[in-house]
Structure 1
C-alpha cells in the first residue's frame, strides 16, 4: 500500500535474504496465491457498500477469514517451518513496527487540539491543504495527516458538502506532499537507505510535485467555491465556537519531533547487536525505536488533559480498525510480493517485461505507471524496492545516467498511493477518522472515481512532460 509508515521503510531495507534462512521462492508460486489478497481488497471495497451494518460489526472476522485463507493452505503446501518464518518476518519487521508507528502518531496528534472559530471557507480550506502538503515532507504523510485532519473536519463540521475536502486532503497531505524528502514517505526513505542522496528527491521531484499539487489546489479551490455557494447561509453550526483561534496540547509537539528522532535513530545508529526469532533477523536499534515510540505515546496520554482529547473527538476505533484490516493485508500480501520479486521468472513476468525495451534500456513511462499502479494496491515500500532493483539497484547510476528512471519510480510510488483508500497507510486512517466524525465518505470504488477524475489527468500530464 503505497501505505505509509516510516517504520516499515526502516525495516524493509533489512528484508534481503540472510544465508541459511528459509525464504519464499516467488518463481514457484502460482498467481492463484494472490486470491486471498484480492478477496481482502474486495471485502474492503464491497462490504461497506452492500452490507454496511455487517461490516461495521464483523470486519475483524472478515479479515481473519482472508488471513486464514492464505495461511492454512500455505502451511499445508509449503510446510510449517517456512510458514512460521514468513509470518514472523512479516510481523516482526513490517506489521508490528507499522502499527506501533501509527499508534504513536495517532495518540500524539490526537492530543493536539485547534480551538476557535475556524470557518471552512474555500480560502481557509485551501490554505490548510497547502500547509499540510508542505509539512508532509517534513514530518511525514502520516504525521501531517494525523495532525491536520481533525482541524479540517472541525472547520467544516457546519457544512453539508464536505466530502470533497477530505478526498483532496488524502490526495495532497496523505500522499503527494510527502515527495520532497526521505522523511515524507516510506519508499523515499528506503531509497535513502539504499544510497540515494537525502536531497535528491527535493531537487528531482520538486517540479513534479509543484505541478501536481498546484493543479490540485487550484481545482480544489474552484470546486470548494462551487459547493460553498450551494450551502444555506448562514450554514447551521452544530458546534458554535466563540473562542479565539488557538492550539491546545502544545506539549505534544515536541513528542512529534521525538517520533521522528526515534525513527532517524534506528537508521543511523548501528550497534551491531541482533537477535533471531523464527529465523528472522531483528536488530537492536529496531527494538529500541519501537520501545521509544510506545514510551512517547504513553507520555502523550499521561500529560494531555482528558478534556483536550474529548473535545478533539478522540477515540480508539480508527486505530483498531486499521490494526485488524492491515493485519490481514500484510499477511495475504506475502505471496504477491514474493512473485513480484521473482521478476521475469515469476507469474507476473508480463508486467515486469514492460519496463525494459528490446535494447535493454528502461522504459520510464512504464516504470512510472507500473510502480504507481501496484503502489495503489500493494505496499509502496517493497514495490519501490522491486522496481529500484529491476532498474539495476545501483544508486549512483540511478542518480546519474538513469535519473529519470529513478524519478519515475519515486513519483509513481508516492503519487499513486492516493489512488485508493489502501494505497498509503494514512489514507485509511483519515477515512476512518472522517467516518467516525460523521462525514459520509464515498465507498472504495466511489473514492476511486474521484481519484480517476482528478488524479489521472495530472499523472498523464507529468508523463507527457517528464517521462516520454
Structure 2
C-alpha cells in the first residue's frame, strides 16, 4: 500500500478546494462511524495473538486499511471537501506535531548512553522508577521513558522475569509521573495552551500523584522482591559484564533535551497573530517554529551523537516506526468519535456527557475523573481532555477556581488512566516495542490490561473516595 505515503501530498495539493468546508457536526453522525476506530483497536489487541508474524510485517498496512475504511465512505457520504478538511486538520494540527515531538524525544534520549552495569535488585529498580517519575514532569513522559527504559532493561538482563518491571515502568514513568506540569503529558500542555496556569496542576493534584506513585512503588518493590527471591531467578552468567564505571556518553544530548523543553515552552508562552490557513486548518507561527526547531534538534542529535553510543544503546527506528504508523491510523479513525463526543448531550454519546452532571446541574468530579479516564484509556488522552474541559465550561479562570475539583479530576483522569492500556499514551507502546526488541516477553494487549485492572483500578477507586467525591 505504497499509496498511503502519497495521501498527505494529495491532501495538500487539493487544499484550496476544501477551504470552505464546514466543521464536522457530530450530532449528524451514527455510532457506526466509530467502527473503523474500534477495528484498529481490536487489531492492535488481537492480531499480535492470532497472527503474530503477519502483524509484525504488515501492521502499517492494517492501520492504513482501517484509515481508508473511514476516509473513503466518509468522502462518499459527505463529499471530498469534508473528508479533505478533516484529513488535513488531523494531519497538520494533531498528527504531525505529535510525531515530530515524539521523534525528537526518542532520538535525543536514544543518544544518551548510561555506561556501566547496574544490577537489577528490587531496591535499584524501585529507585530507577522513582527517578523516572520525577523526571517525567520536567522532560515529558516520552523523554523520561526513552532515557531510562534501556538502562533498566540492561540492569535486569541477568534475571528471568523482567516483564513486570517494564509494566510498572509504564504505569509510573510513562504515565503517572507526568502529571505535575504541562511538560509532563500532552493533555496538560493543551490545558496550558487554553489558559491554565503552568503550576496549577502541581498545586492541585500533587497529593493524588504522590499517593499513586508512592503506592505503585511500594507494590512494585513487593512484587519484584517476590520474583527476586525465587529460586533460579538470576542467570549464572550476566550478559552485561562489569567492564566500565557508571557514567554517561552522548552528553551533548542533555543540552539538546533542554532545547526540546525550551521549544515546547516557547510555543505555549509565545502569542503571535501570524496564522496560516491550510484547507481550513489554522497553523500558527509558534507551532511552526516549534516543529522546525524540533526537527533541527533531531538532525543535530543524529549528527553529533557518536555511532558507538547508538550501537551501545541498540538504537533503531523500529519502535518509532510502529508508533508512527499505528497512531496515523488512530488519529484518522478517531475523527468521527471525537466529533460525536464534542456534540455533547445532543450527540450519539450524549449519555456519557450527561453522566458527568449532577441532577442540580453542577459537575460531578468523580464522574469526570472516570469518564475522562476510561475514554483516555482507549482514545487519545489529549483530545479527550479537551472534550471534558469544554464540557465543564471551557473557561480556564472558572475551572481553576470555582470548579477546581472538576479540572483536577479531568487532569488526573487523562494522565493517570492513560496507563490502563498500551494505546492510552504513546510512550506505552514505544516502551513495549523497545522491551520486545531486547527480548523481553511482554504481556499481550489483554494481558497488560489484567495487570492494570488488578493494580491500577483499585488505586483509582481509593482516589475517587478520597479526592473526587
**TM-score for both structures, normalised by structure 1:** 0.94
1:117 maps to what in 2?
117
Structure 2 counterpart of 1:32: 32
- For residues 73-122 of structure 1, what are the alpha-carbon distances to aligned partners after superposition, in whole Å with 9 as ceiling and x for unaligned? 00000100011110001101111111111111111111100111200110
Quote how far apart the aligned CAs of 1:151 are. Answer: 1.0
User: SS of 1:455's equivalent?
Assistant: helix
In structure 2, distance between residues paired with 1:360 and 1:340? 19
1:52 has 2:57 as partner: no
1:102 aligns with 2:93: no
Instruction: Give, in whole Å, the separation in 2 of the partners of 1:267 and 1:363.
Output: 30
Whole-Å Cα distance in 1 between the matches of residues 259 and 375 of structure 2? 32
CA contact under 8 A between 1:159 and 1:235: conserved in structure 2?
Answer: no
CA distance in 1, matches of 2:95, 2:242: 40
Query: What is the CA deviation profile of residues 186-233 of structure 1, one whole-angstrom value per residue up to 9, with x for unaligned ones?
Result: 111221222222211111101100011111000100100111112445
Residue 316 (structure 2) aligns with:
315
Structure 1 residue 20 displacement after superposition? 5.7
RCO greater where, 1 or 2, for CA within 8 Å and sep 6 or more? 1
> SS of the counterpart of 1:282?
strand
1:295-327 C-alpha deviation (Å, 9 max, x unpaired): 111111111110110110111111111111110
Shift of 1:235: 4.1
Separation (CA, whole Å) in 1 of partners of 2:386 and 2:233: 50
Task: Using the TM superposition, give the Cα deviation of residue 394 of structure 1 relative to its aligned residue in structure 2, in angstroms.
Answer: 1.7
Indicate conservation of the 8 Å contact 1:375/1:383, yes or no. yes
- Where in structure 2 are the equivalents of 1:352-431 lying within 5 Å? 352-431=353-432
Deviation at 1:21, TM superposition (A): 5.1
Instruction: Spell out, residue by residue over 1:383-424, the C-alpha distance to the aligned partner (whole angstroms, 9 max, x if none).
Output: 111111111112222222211111111110110000000001
Partner of 2:346: 345
How many Å separate the matches in 1 of 2:335 and 2:284?
Answer: 21
Q: Which residue of 2 aligns with 1:10?
A: none
Q: Is the 8 A contact 1:421 1:428 kept in 2?
A: yes
Rounded Cα–Cα distance in structure 2 between residues aligned with 1:105 and 1:36: 30
Residue 160 of structure 1 corresponds to which residue in structure 2?
160
**Structure 1 residues 195 and 285, CA gap change in structure 2 (3 angstroms):** closer
CA distance in 1, matches of 2:86, 2:234: 58
Q: CA offsets, 1:13-70, max 9 Å, x none?
A: xxxxxx9652100000000000000000000000111111110011111111101100
Name the SS of the counterpart of 1:108 in structure 2: helix
Paired with 2:76 and 2:341, the residues of 1 have a C-alpha distance of 23
For residues 61 and 234 of structure 1, do their structure 2 counterparts lie closer, same or farther at Cα, with a shift above 3 Å needed? Answer: closer
Contact 1:137 / 1:177 at 8 angstroms: preserved in 2?
Answer: yes
Query: Does residue 237 in structure 1 map to residue 227 in structure 2?
Result: no
Q: Aligned partners of 2:41, 2:176: CA distance in 1, in Å?
A: 23
Q: CA deviation at 1:236?
A: 2.8
TM-score normalised per structure 2: 0.94
CA distances 1:341-377 after superposition (whole Å, capped 9, x unpaired):
0001110011111011211011111100000000001
Distance 1:360 1:423 in 2: 30
Q: Greater shift after overlay, 158-167 or 395-404?
A: 395-404
What is the aligned partner in structure 1 of residue 282 from structure 2?
281
Unaligned runs of 5+ in 1: 1-18
Note the aligned Cα RMSD (angstroms).
1.2
Give the Å deviation of 1:242: 2.2
SS of the counterpart of 2:139?
helix
Work out the number of aligned pairs and report it.
450
Q: Secondary structure at the match of 2:118?
A: coil
What's 2:179 paired with? 179
Kindly report structure 1 stretches of 4+ aligned residues shifted beyond 6 Å.
none
- Supply the distance in 2 between the matched residues of 1:403 and 1:279 (Cα, whole angstroms): 34
